[in-house]
Amino acid sequence: MKETLYGRNTVIEALRANRRRFYQISLSDGIRPNDVVSRIFSTCQKRGIRMERMPRRMLDEVCGHDRHQGVLASVSSYPDVEIADVLSSLEASSEQPLLLLLDGLQDPQNLGTLLRAAEAIGVHGVVIPRRRSAQITPAVSKASSGAVEHLMIAGVSNLNQAIRSLKEAGVWVVGLEDVPEAQHYRDADLDRSLALVVGSEGKGLSRLVRERCDFLIKLPMSGRVASLNAAVAGSIALYEVWEQRHPAPSRREG
């Protein structure tokens, strides 16, 4: 099955990851060369990937909008994996596992933003339900600035079963949820084999997922808005994990 990726960073990161098959790359006639465009050109020449020029309006028609930055790529579908592949990669790695589980996150922009943060701090795997959740589409790849192309993402039929498998593998599961029993995120011990669960934009974590978490954390808020954007909250929590694993000297001393 073919997809159309769009955007300069999205396409160059897909080329760098080299996990998809590239059928063709289309560039607008008036595209201005820069470092990214030059790298796209050179990579296609090295790999023998077909390139073509076309009027920008034709790219608009193919893409369905004008947010493509003059670059389209016809590629194979996203190479998602199974939860067993994620577990196997954890066994083979010498690093302390860090996973991201998403419980009903439905907005593609939120998903892409959160996955960009996940890739930036070196998350080892992401688990997404195949139903009632945003999937990895070209829009999500664009929102992540191509970061999804480097991530191991498993689609699962049952998130609760995936949580059970992770816990059996020795991974602690922590849910991000603003409830009274949740710990302040900086008071929690996150420097361990960990899977962070982020819920949906409106409802948060589902009841069963929340009950299966080993513990919950929350972010403090003092403003008038009732909650943070799911992608923002998840990114803050992920960076807290990273900070606890790589503390600055001043924080270690404190």
Amino acid, single-letter form, for residue 225: V
**Does one domain contain both 93 and 25?**
no
User: Of the candidates 41, 76, 111, which is a domain's last residue?
Assistant: 76
Of the candidates 177, 133, 183, the one whose C-alpha atom is nearest the C-alpha of residue 158 is 133
**Does one domain contain both 71 and 96?**
no
**Domains of the chain: total:** 2
**Does one domain contain both 48 and 98?**
no
Predicted pLDDT at 227: 63
User: Of the candidates 76, 103, 136, which is a domain's last residue?
Assistant: 76
Spans in the chain with pLDDT lower than 50:
none
**Does one domain contain both 105 and 68?**
no
Alpha carbon distance 128, 109 (integer Å):
15
**Does one domain contain both 90 and 61?**
no
* Tally: H helices and E strands in the chain: 10, 11
Phi and psi at 213, nearest 5°, equal -70, 145
**Does one domain contain both 59 and 116?**
no
**Does one domain contain both 68 and 90?**
no
**Does one domain contain both 247 and 148?**
yes
Predicted pLDDT at 93: 82
Matching residue, tokens 């909250």? 233
**Does one domain contain both 103 and 179?**
yes
Pairing of strands 71-76, 2-6: antiparallel
Domain of residue 69 covers 2-76
Predicted pLDDT at 221: 74
**Does one domain contain both 32 and 91?**
no
Instruction: Name, in order, each residue with C-beta under 8 angstroms of 67's C-beta and a sequence gap of 6 or more.
Output: 6, 7, 142
User: Of the candidates 43, 76, 109, which is a domain's last residue?
Assistant: 76
CATH number at residue 37: 3.30.1330.30
**Does one domain contain both 60 and 98?**
no
**Does one domain contain both 90 and 70?**
no
